[in-house]
Structure 1
Amino acid sequence: MTRLGGTILSLIVLAVIGFASMLSFGPVAPQKRPNFSGDRPIPPAEPAVAATIGMPVAGVSADQIADSWGDSRGDGTRVHQAIDIPAPGGTPVLAAAPGQVEKLFESAAGGTTLYVRSPGREWIYYYAHLAGYARGIREGSPVQRGTLLGFVGDTGNAGAGNTHLHFAVNRMAPGERWHQGTPVNPYPLLAGSALRR
């Protein structure tokens, strides 16, 4: 074989090897894609909150609640960023998750309200329209899931006789105060926790 023939044969062999290396002859492990959207990481689906949240109104089950998140409020001037859980006045309101009572607050909209911050400080659980607080509940009180916090009422802008718990969940960034945070729909969290029992 001539030198030219050997060179051509070598090039053909290299081309065949290169082509064969691009082919797949079996299953290929999926490639991990970066978890980014633009320059910001995509946050994981609500981590710890989903595993620890419980129904905040005694005697109410998941099939008795409705998803009122996003409903129009104030004649269309605002959107509901919570869910309302109807119950008779005086029904016990229970801590949906462990944490510490961060704020007891009276407001025109929420009436008698209570805010619990999670142990890692990344969540706030908000309870509004309460008829009153349970004995011994004060700012700084530690609570466990199921701790009695107060009682269902119609205070604030609930409307007389419209007894229900307005329940909200906010994801908190470092340094955010009790009234801040990013609202998260609690309905799938409550429905999911009840179904997991």
Structure 2
Amino acid sequence: METSLATKTRGGVPALRFRYLSPADVDELAGLWAALHERHRSTAPHLEDIITRVNADESWRRRRAQYLAWLNESETLAVVAERGGEAVGYAMVTVRENQQGSWDRGSRVAVVQTLAVHPDHTGTGVGSGLLEELRRQVGAMGILDLELTALATSSEDIRFFEQEGFRPFVTTMVSRIGGFGGHD
């Protein structure tokens, strides 16, 4: 399935086109994932023990396996944004049953597992275009909420997501286990 954004962006830049991937196409995402992995490494040095111990190749191997598993689920979306025939970003979205029934979030929630924009294309509407396409697709599925995570130290990303209408919901804290006594 392929769709295109109807309008052109500033300065006559070609319109974004969106293409949906199957499991057979997942390797197309490797380069964009490597760029995202490097961004995570540079944005979150305080998570060195979690992020930097895994090189880009190993990180892709792990993420690729996860993508393949997700793409075997019927409602998962893998969307590539292209401009002028070049892949400039992508999103991987899963759908889960709503586990938090005490809030009005509907019976299912769409989760943006990955939103990646090539570094040369940040600030050119790729992220916004991907989010618009995702909202259109998951809205058509009857889903009320789209959620995502951002590294706490990535103030640029957080600012972007807030401009796109996202609001803080929960905060996830991480602590490595070990080195705190009890084990000799």
User: TM-score category by the smaller chain?
Assistant: under 0.3
Name which structure has the greater RCO, CA cutoff 8 Å, separation 6+. 1
TM-score of the pair, normalised by structure 1:
0.26
Please identify the structure whose Cα radius of gyration is greater: 1
TM-score of the pair, normalised by structure 2:
0.28
Question: Counting strand residues as a fraction of each chain, which structure ranks higher?
Answer: 1
Question: Counting helix residues as a fraction of each chain, which structure ranks higher?
Answer: 2
